[in-house]
Amino acid sequence: MDSKAYQAWKESVYRPAAEPERGAFVTSSGFPVEPVYGPWDAPEFAERLGLPGEYPFTRAIHPSMYRSRLWTMRQYAGFSTAVESNARYRYLLEQGQTGLSVAFDLPTQIGYDSDDRLAQGEVGRVGVAIDTVEDMETLLAGIPLDRVSLSMTINATAPVLLAMVLTVARRQGVDWRKLSGTVQNDILKEYIARGTYRFPPRPSLRLITDLLAFCGRAVPRWNTISISGYHIREAGSTAVQEVAFTLANAREYVRAALGAGLAIDEFAPRLSFFFNAHNNFLEEVAKFRAARRMWARMMREEFGATDPRSWLLRFHTQTAGSSLTAQQPENNVARVTVQTMAAVAGGTQSLHTNAMDEALSLPSEGAVRVALRTQQVVAYESGLADVVDPLGGAWVVEAWTDRIEEEARAYIDRIEGMGGALAAIERGFQQREIHEAAYATQRAIESGERVVVGVNRFRVDSEQAIPPFRVDEAAQQAQVERLAGVRRRRDGAQVSRALTVLEGAAGGSENLMPPLVEAVEASASLGEIAATLVRVFGEYREGVAL
């Protein structure tokens, strides 16, 4: 059957009136979903598909994938104080988690101390409060940093938090060259979708490239940036926009590093990515495959990378927080299971699964355990990890992989026409595109065109409430007192000297990581360090550098 014969057949069989009442058959990116797929949808794909582990890595970045090693099960956690978060990390490791992922509270993410008036009401709320290296030491107590991979979701203040980890490792006697982990360090998506910025974009890019250069020499196993599409998707983007805007940001970072004098194959092997896994199983699998192929081509053909490691799109995945519902929260277990399977079928290297009660509050211990068990059931019981690229060759997946690449490439070309990702952000392009996509999705949900089980269809009159997990109200005061204690004990003159050195370095061109480590070792607080940088760099507010 050729494409014309198929079209005639489809029109004779699939009339609109004959379709079930499940709403429009489209993906989250607006792709029409054909009732069946065949060779007419992805012509000659078999010749182009290749094998796993072969350029351009459509099928996988490693030939054997999970048959030789499962993905890292890295549950994102952090709340209240360092003491309480440390207890949660130990619990997760005891339950079989294989890597840590640290969530920081909003003051820490933006660079305010817990006793700052702007931090009031937010200390320890959505993550752990970290003010000084002493907090980081408590957070990581009893955790072997040379054996446990550590991921930190931190951006504006990423170099400072990494400096704290390095200081803790030194105090533990751990060689920095043995440390492994990731710091998100992706500021561009903050201006696009998330908002935890502190400094203007251009000095923020300098902080990123300084961290890349420093770790390349001193912490070679560390992933120096995790370029994130996750938050872009959480803000309401489509799958295509997630891929396009993420790779456009990645291109901007690569150019910044090259402009700072770094060689492509010196830093590119340590770049990593962070994607979302949403509910449309087939589209998500295709999305991961398209992104992998696009990155390989960009690095080899555009930037001339010759080290095969530079071509590999290594990515962490988190299931979609925005897909979770407060109504009938038990349904979220099913949603997370679908998303987990999409991430695994798409070839992720690391995975966080959301807890069913996260639409209500910080996750409870029992819900976190179920979320981790979801990964373990898929890994050990489903058989999905036994086959590399299990959906490779499926007509629909190949057709959608091609289409996502094509449409994402068109977005990237538009961004390039504006002067690149940073220039497009300054014009508000990505922000507007995401807002329009989010609005269209919300209208589809409200009209019933897009079904959300338990929300606009299959509702119940009464539900058994899940008690929300709450942070102890006394946690903020305890953290403020802890910070005051550090300030009393430290050598104030040493702190002042370290901050003066940092300010001078920020006003020059030297790498900022060494003076940051020096300031951290002197027990300078995060807020003091950030304020020092603000005096040189300025502060970014609502798109205006002040």
Please report the pLDDT score of residue 185 as a whole number.
Answer: 95
How many Å is the maximal CA-CA distance in the chain?
83
Cα gap 90→338, rounded to integer Å: 28
Amino acid symbol at 236:
G
Look at residue 273 and give its three-state secondary structure.
Answer: strand
Where does the pLDDT of residue 363 fall: very low under 50, low under 70, confident under 90, or very high at 90 and above?
confident
Amino acid symbol at 9:
W
* Range in 8-22, 33-47, 88-102, 267-281 with the lowest mean pLDDT: 8-22
Backbone angles phi, psi at 104, to 5 degrees: -105, 150
Backbone angles phi, psi at 528, to 5 degrees: -65, -40
Cα gap 355→336, rounded to integer Å: 8
Cα gap 128→136, rounded to integer Å: 10
Q: Is 235 a residue whose pLDDT tops 50? A: yes
Where does the pLDDT of residue 404 fall: very low under 50, low under 70, confident under 90, or very high at 90 and above?
very high
User: Does 523 reside within a domain?
Assistant: yes
Most confident of 93-107, 456-470, 511-525: 511-525
* Number of structural domains in the chain: 1
The tokens of 442 are what? 């919300």
pLDDT digits (tens, 9 = 90+) for 480-539: 999 999 999 999 999 999 999 999 999 999 999 999 999 999 999 999 999 999 999 999
User: Does 423 reside within a domain?
Assistant: no
User: Does 203 reside within a domain?
Assistant: no
Nearest-CA neighbor of 42 among 406, 288, 298? 406
Please report the pLDDT score of residue 73 as a whole number.
Answer: 92
- The set of long-range contacts for 492-497, using a CB threshold of 8 Å and a minimum separation of 24, is 494/522, 495/519, 495/522, 495/523, 495/524, 495/528, 497/522
User: Does 516 reside within a domain?
Assistant: yes
User: Does 497 reside within a domain?
Assistant: yes
Cα gap 411→414, rounded to integer Å: 5
User: Does 464 reside within a domain?
Assistant: no
pLDDT digits (tens, 9 = 90+) for 239-266: 999 999 999 999 999 999 999 999 999 9
Please report the pLDDT score of residue 27 as a whole number.
Answer: 86
- Identify which has the larger pLDDT, 84 or 1: 84
- Sign, Cα dihedral of 301, 29, 155, 318: negative
The tokens of 211 are what? 């961290």
* Range in 15-29, 90-104, 220-234, 300-314 with the lowest mean pLDDT: 15-29
Q: Is 135 a residue whose pLDDT tops 60? A: yes
Look at residue 115 and give its three-state secondary structure.
Answer: coil
Question: For the chain, give me the number of helices (H) and strands (E)?
Answer: 21, 11
Domain span at residue 507 reads: 490-545
Cα gap 197→455, rounded to integer Å: 33
List Cβ neighbours of 381 (8 Å cut-off, separation of 6 or more).
Answer: none
Where does the pLDDT of residue 101 fall: very low under 50, low under 70, confident under 90, or very high at 90 and above?
confident
What is the number of other CB atoms lying within 10 angstroms of the CB of residue 471? 18
pTM score, whole prediction:
0.90
User: Does 180 reside within a domain?
Assistant: no
Where does the pLDDT of residue 545 fall: very low under 50, low under 70, confident under 90, or very high at 90 and above?
very low
The tokens of 190 are what? 């903050």
Q: Are 233 and 244 in contact (CB under 8 A)?
A: no
Cα gap 318→342, rounded to integer Å: 11
